[in-house]
Structure 1
Amino acid sequence: MNTIVIFILKVVAAILFVAIYIVFPDTKENTVLLQAIKGGNTFLIPSIILSIIRFTVISLYNARHANKNVRGNFVLAINRVTSMVNAVLLVIAIMVGLGINPIEFVTSLTIVAMAIAVLFRDYITNLLSGLFIMFSDQLSVGDRIKVGDYKGRIMDINFANIVLQNEEDDIVMVPNNLVFTQAIVNLSAHRSQLFTIKFELPLSVASDIKTLEKEIIPILTNHPNIDQSHTPKLIVQEVGKDYVKYKFELYATTSSNRLHRDIENEILREILLFEHDRIKSS
């Protein structure tokens, strides 16, 4: 549901609760209804104020950075914090609606709260780590990162983990704590025109690599989206029992990831045709 519609519904509900309390004096004598109204407004009024603050802060932030290439997740962080505070307000409102004093309830559960904090220590540290990540400009949704053994594009950041989509299109949940305990590489922070195309050929086909170079290099040197000031390089990465792994090092005309992928797909199709022809002729 649209946030504006939700905001309007909250305002209408708060006004309705106040109107019932003022227009119907008998409400004060109805304990259940009175507690329900108090509980409702305990959530609605602070939530409305919080929504106004959220909208104002985001509007000022967007206006200030309208002409800047801003990285980071400030808006995402504000939305996450707002959702968390609303959840806390809802719990307090339910307590008030049931006639429970929230302060006395929390005080009476101090020891239990400490035990819960110990039990959920990992989740709490993940939550705090998530807040640090969201309010920083080191990582952003859409960045390609490598953290520990995981590599992929950030699809979302929440209080528990970073949601990555790896090169096999699998969704990987990386705990936020790993960002602070493992070495992390942001592959999108400083975009480069240099990129690599990796491929593997059977040993029988790899022996005819000179022919491959003769067929592929002219395509690379005449490609409109490849920087011709740098000579394409074909590098042997690994020689196995029945295969050879290669990679091309190329410089594109821009640092666009999409352009890099398009060039890579085009070159890999040519390599597949080369491999097919050699296997067919053998």
Structure 2
Amino acid sequence: MVYRLRKNIPYKFTDNVINGINNLYYLIVTFGVILMILGFWDIEIKDLLTSLSIVAAALAIISKEYVNSIISGIIISFSKEINIDDYVKISGHKGKIIDITLTKISLLNDDDDIIYIPNDKVYQSEVINYTKKELKKVSVDFELDAKYHTTIEMLEAKLIDALKDYKEYIEDDSFNIKIVNLYHDYLSLKFQYKLKEVNREAERMIRRKTIRVIANSIKENEIEKSKNS
């Protein structure tokens, strides 16, 4: 409560420190309940541990990954490398962190899918934090048939025109279509632009619009080809 007041964090919101404290609280409560149950049945902890030493060893091996996730979750919660609402890339998954629990991180990707990644995997993986980098340049990867009837310049002009409603978010003259690779039957391209400031919600809207324009353009190309065949 004191921490929330100092950091001016509303009741319904949270951050890494609050999550870390909550996770520790759940561990302590769970351990306390177990001790209470053992005490209720007059079971001596020392005798119980001795009699269950073999079972405990087996359980330790089985639950190794679970324990690793819990420990990793506590470390991540109190670290400053990633925070809730950060836009990150973890193990090939890109999105916004919406929750950090004892065992996993919840990631909301650009398709509004929630991806759950175990904390131990996050801890051991390479993590790119786009929020920390304040990255303003955005790239949309796509592929085109090598026989696509419209020129790259015309497609670029169509995309720029389609995004004019978002000009308040995008720097002037920052649009560019880059040819990444040229293959026998298709092209690998990137449509790039630079935001005036980091705004993940605006980026998602612009990306969605861009993908739809590209998809519609490809569909129009297929219709045109079928007419000419």
TM-score (normalised: structure 2): 0.78
Q: Report the Cα offset of residue 131 of structure 1.
A: 0.8
Question: Aligned Cα RMSD in Å?
Answer: 3.1
Q: Structure 1: which 5+ residue stretches go unaligned?
A: 1-58
* Residue in structure 1 matched with residue 5 of structure 2 by the alignment: 63
Match of 1:249 in 2: 192
In structure 2, how many angstroms separate the alpha carbons of the residues matched to 1:234 and 1:144? Answer: 24
By how many angstroms is 1:132 displaced?
Answer: 0.5
What's the CA shift string for 1:74-100, capped at 9, x where partnerless? 111111221221111111111222222
Comparing both structures, which one devotes a greater share of its residues to helix?
1
Counterpart-to-counterpart distance in 2, 1:277 and 1:151: 30
Query: What residue number does 1:224 align with?
Result: 168
Moved more, 114-123 or 257-266: 114-123
CA drift of 1:164 comes to: 3.4
Larger Rg: 1
Q: Could you tell me how far apart the structure 1 residues matched to 2:93 and 2:136 are?
A: 24
What is the DSSP-based 3-state SS (H/G/I as helix, E as strand, rest coil) of the residue aligned with 2:203? helix
Name which of 187, 190, 215 aligns with 2:130: 187
Q: Which of 64, 71, 75 matches 1:121?
A: 64
The structure whose residues are more often strand, as a share, is 2
Aligned pair count reads 221
Alignment of 1:1-150 (within 5 A): 59-66=1-8, 72-106=15-49, 109=52, 112-150=55-93
Indicate the structure whose relative CO is greater, using CA pairs within 8 Å and at least 6 residues apart: 2
Where structure 2 has 5 or more consecutive residues not aligned to the other structure, the ranges are none
Give a deviation string over 1:108-154, Cα, whole Å, max 9, x none.
Answer: 54565455434433322222111101121222233333233444433
- On the 8 A contact 1:200/1:243 being kept in 2, the answer is yes
Deviation at 1:194, TM superposition (A): 1.6
Q: Which of 188, 207, 211 in structure 2 is aligned with 1:264?
A: 207
Q: How far apart in 2 are the matches of 1:111 and 1:273?
A: 63
Q: In the alignment, what sits opposite 1:24?
A: none
Q: CA deviation at 1:265?
A: 2.6
What amino acid sits opposite 2:153 in the alignment? K
Q: Contact 1:72–1:136 (CA<8 Å) still a contact in 2?
A: no
Q: Is the 8 A contact 1:192 1:255 kept in 2?
A: yes
Q: Which of 233, 238, 255 in structure 1 is aligned with 2:176?
A: 233
